[in-house]
Amino acid sequence: MTGHADYCPIASAVEVLGDRWTPLLIRELMIGASGFNEIHRGVPRMSRSLLAERLRVLERRGLVVRHSAGPGKPVRYELTPAGNALTPIIWAMGHWAAEWAFGDPTDDDLDAISLLWRMHQHVLPEHLPRERTIVHVVLSGHGGGQGWLDMTPQATTVCHTDPGQEVQLAIQADNRQMHRWLIGLVPFGELVTEGDVRLFGPARLTRAFPTWFDTTFFDTGLRNADARRARESALVS
């Protein structure tokens, strides 16, 4: 640890969490990422060399432990008790931002593959069909692209290229609106009604699809923000 400006626990905490990347790395680890490539997919704008350096820093600070399974085997990363103790702080940062500093995605926020990765992280396994389901997602608009979700109750994977399996459900959607839905800003049914999403497949899958994902992480903050804006608008009018 380097010296801080004043003798205060908050100053010490800022040294640990006061950069752009550390809270995001803790976020990825606390929601289940453990391999280097998994972590990188959650923070794709971070270079791989910088990620490696920051993981080493987190190890030195006692927040992350590195597990090696032997030569040629992938390394796994895990939060230590000290790292796990940060998870409520990271969530609290997100809830604060949802209420006070968050809005619609900008063009710079829109990336189709990143959205698919987030969708896989938001999956509710107990809500998925029992049989393997391949979902082909085509996202249009700024930052658009396509990918496949290979979904079972045991695991969901994201494929950048056609996995060569029969597709059970196809989705064509506006990239920006899908970002808004997944974070909880707009209900899926509204996107369908407005023509921002089209689903192709058996009715049992098209109806169930939005229930496969948890979009409620930041509900309280987003609702509070809506209520505050409504009050402010009423005062102006």
Residue by residue, what is the 3-state secondary structure of the chain? CCCCCCCCHHHHHHHHHCCCCHHHHHHHHHCCCCEHHHHHHHCCCCCHHHHHHHHHHHHHCCCEEEEECCCCCCEEEEECHHHHCCHHHHHHHHHHHHHHCCCCCCHHHCCHHHHHHHHHHCECHHHCCCCCEEEEEEEECCCCEEEEEEECCCCEEEECCCCCCCCCEEEEEEHHHHHHHHHCCCCHHHHHHCCCEEEECCHHHHHHHHHHECCCCCHHHHHHHHHHHHHHHHHHC
The amino acid at 89: I
Q: Taking residues 178-194, what's their average pLDDT?
A: 97
Mean pLDDT of the chain: 94
| Structure confidence by residue, pLDDT tens digits, 33-49 | 999 999 999 999 999 99
Model confidence band, residue 233 (pLDDT cutoffs 50, 70, 90): confident
Rounded to an integer, the average pLDDT of 197-226 is 97
Q: What pLDDT score does 3 carry?
A: 55
Prediction pTM value: 0.91
- Per-residue HEC secondary structure of 8-21 comes to CHHHHHHHHHCCCC
pLDDT at 69 over 80: no
pLDDT band, residue 79 (cuts 50/70/90): very high
Q: What is the mean pLDDT of residues 189-216?
A: 98
- Does residue 70 have a pLDDT over 80? no
Mean pLDDT of 169-188: 98
pLDDT class for 71, splitting at 50, 70, 90? confident
User: 109 pairs with which residues across the strands?
Assistant: none
| pLDDT interval class at 6 (50, 70, 90) | confident
Question: Which tens digits make up the pLDDT trace of 51-67?
Answer: 999 999 999 999 999 99
Q: Is the pLDDT of residue 145 over 70?
A: yes
Beta bridge partners of 35: 76
- Higher local confidence (pLDDT), 40 or 11: 40
Calpha distance 26→30 (Å, rounded)? 6
Mean pLDDT of the region 65-84: 91
